[in-house]
Amino acid sequence: MYNCSPQDFLTQKLATQTASITKYQFKQQTVWIKKASERHSIWLYRIFGIAAKLLRLQALTPVPNLGGQQSIRTEIHRLQALRQQGINVPELLAYNNQGLMIADVGNAEVPSEQLESALKNSASAEDCLHLYKRIVDELHAIHQKEAWLSEAFLRNMVLDKNKHIVFLDFESDPGQYMNQQLCFARDWLCLIFSASIYLKSHDILEQGSSYLYSTVQQESKQTQNAVLSTTKLFHWLNKLPLNKLGKDGYRLTAVLTLLAYLKALM
């Protein structure tokens, strides 16, 4: 089996794979095979879509992940397109209508590391801020190439064997539902929602928000306004007893604090 082509290996593994994504060894290389899974329920997306429309916050409009073969086709297309634009994404080794195979971005000596873990476990506040600024710079560089991600959460970013930032998970395409500038704003909002808790834990929320603000200011007015307008959405949440919500409350408090810093800079 291991002397077969990547395409044959993918076909053979998909026939027995039950999980949506599984790691394998193929010709001394670590690979990941993603299989078409059941379609995600869309009723929740519709509810949040209505809320975003009522609040006039288009960048928060949920982007459906339809699952199945459609999500596989979307990810194949996005991986190919982003790679052509010079964006750091995993190498697509093989694909068909039922799934795809990508190369792992680490190796035995230097395994890949999720950015979420890297920020959380930073040795110092200085290290955390430095890494966060790298992420902000990378995201801005992607926008300069007129490209955007699918869900720019930290869980979808990893450091590869050379410590370069690589972006993952492209089962959906915001560009099918909103214009380019709102796609850019959505990237920034995903980063804010996922990174704020780690900036807070290292006591660098003010520095992080200041750097983010100066970077977003380099983008279009529409993107800037879409990002900064979210300060209105969460204003009323400050009145809630967030300290009673455990880790979720702590995370939300971090987001609100960062948004407050952004609002003060406006």
166-208 residue pLDDT tens: 999 999 999 999 999 999 999 998 899 899 999 999 999 999 9
What token pair was written down for 238? 């400050």
Q: How many residues does the chain have?
A: 266
Same domain, yes or no: 150 and 197: yes
Same domain, yes or no: 95 and 167: no
Same domain, yes or no: 26 and 136: no
Tell me the mean pLDDT in the region 136-141: 98
Same domain, yes or no: 133 and 89: no
Domain boundary among 103, 129, 147: 103
Q: 102: helix, coil or strand? A: strand
Same domain, yes or no: 162 and 183: yes
Same domain, yes or no: 214 and 99: no
Q: How many domains does the chain have?
A: 2
Domain boundary among 103, 124, 147: 103
Strand partners, 157: 167
| Whole-prediction pTM | 0.89
In a domain, 108, yes or no: no
Residue 240, pLDDT > 50, answer: yes
pLDDT at 182: 93
Residue (of 89, 91, 113) closest to 103 by Cα position: 91
205-216 and 246-265 helices cross at what angle (nearest 10)?
50
Same domain, yes or no: 89 and 185: no
pLDDT at 85: 97
In a domain, 41, yes or no: yes
> Domain of 36: which CATH number?
3.30.200
Same domain, yes or no: 152 and 217: yes
In a domain, 1, yes or no: no
Same domain, yes or no: 215 and 171: yes
pLDDT class for 44, splitting at 50, 70, 90? very low
Same domain, yes or no: 52 and 71: yes
What token pair was written down for 214? 């100066």
Lowest mean pLDDT among 65-69, 80-84, 123-127, 224-228: 65-69
pLDDT at 117: 96
In a domain, 176, yes or no: yes
pLDDT at 96: 97
Same domain, yes or no: 256 and 204: yes
Same domain, yes or no: 37 and 155: no
pLDDT tens string 47-86: 445 556 655 666 667 776 777 899 999 999 999 999 999 9
Domain range for 31 is 6-103
Average pLDDT over the chain reads: 88
What token pair was written down for 27? 């010709």
In a domain, 79, yes or no: yes
Domain boundary among 103, 130, 152: 103
